[in-house]
Amino acid sequence: MHRLVHLIVAVVIVAAGGLGGRSAAAQPEPQPVTIPCATNVSAQVLGATPEAAAGQTLVLARVIFGPGGSIGAHTHPGTLVVSVESGSLGFTLLDHGDMPVMRAMAAGTPAVAEPMTRDQEAELAPGDWFVETGMIHGARNLSDEPTAVLLTGLIEAGQPLTQCAEGTPTP
């Protein structure tokens, strides 16, 4: 019986170690964003629906703006929820639309909505988030360190996640 307990404990330890190794390896490496309106930006697709459901694809990604990184005027073919994970993001709404930023507050208190003003850059900090519904906008890193944002959303099936406003889609 004592040997059986040791064997079970050993199997659990080996299995736990194997799972830990797989989860770290399962995240893909960030890839450079190669659209003309992007500079020093990479993206890491963390998940997506393998098949379109009702003409839409659900996607989860991390976008990393290196120091000096930016994406000029661009849009997305759907609805995204974007949350600043780290760093400082400058965000500028470039066309019409009502798009408040939800500002992170102290733990235990609800986020506060702050309206965005067209053509005026808003500085977003970790925990700040917004819902983007196809408006033309730009974003840039305001810090000397990488700035990471998480985005999830429903996009039109078969469409690129990001398209420069000039009409050049992502590859």
CATH code of the domain in which 114 resides: 2.60.120.10
> Does residue 19 fall inside a structural domain?
no
pTM given for the model: 0.77
**Spans in the chain with pLDDT lower than 70:** 1-26, 52, 167-171
Q: How many domains does the chain have?
A: 1
Structural domain harbouring 64: 31-164
Positions of E strands within 38-169: 38-48, 56-75, 78-86, 89-93, 101-103, 112-114, 122-124, 129-132, 137-141, 147-156, 163-164
Q: How far apart are CA 133 and CA 110, in angstroms?
A: 23
> Does residue 20 fall inside a structural domain?
no
Q: How far apart are CA 82 and CA 124, in angstroms?
A: 11
> Does residue 26 fall inside a structural domain?
no
pLDDT at 23: 42
pLDDT at 140: 98
> Does residue 12 fall inside a structural domain?
no
pLDDT at 163: 92
> Does residue 95 fall inside a structural domain?
yes
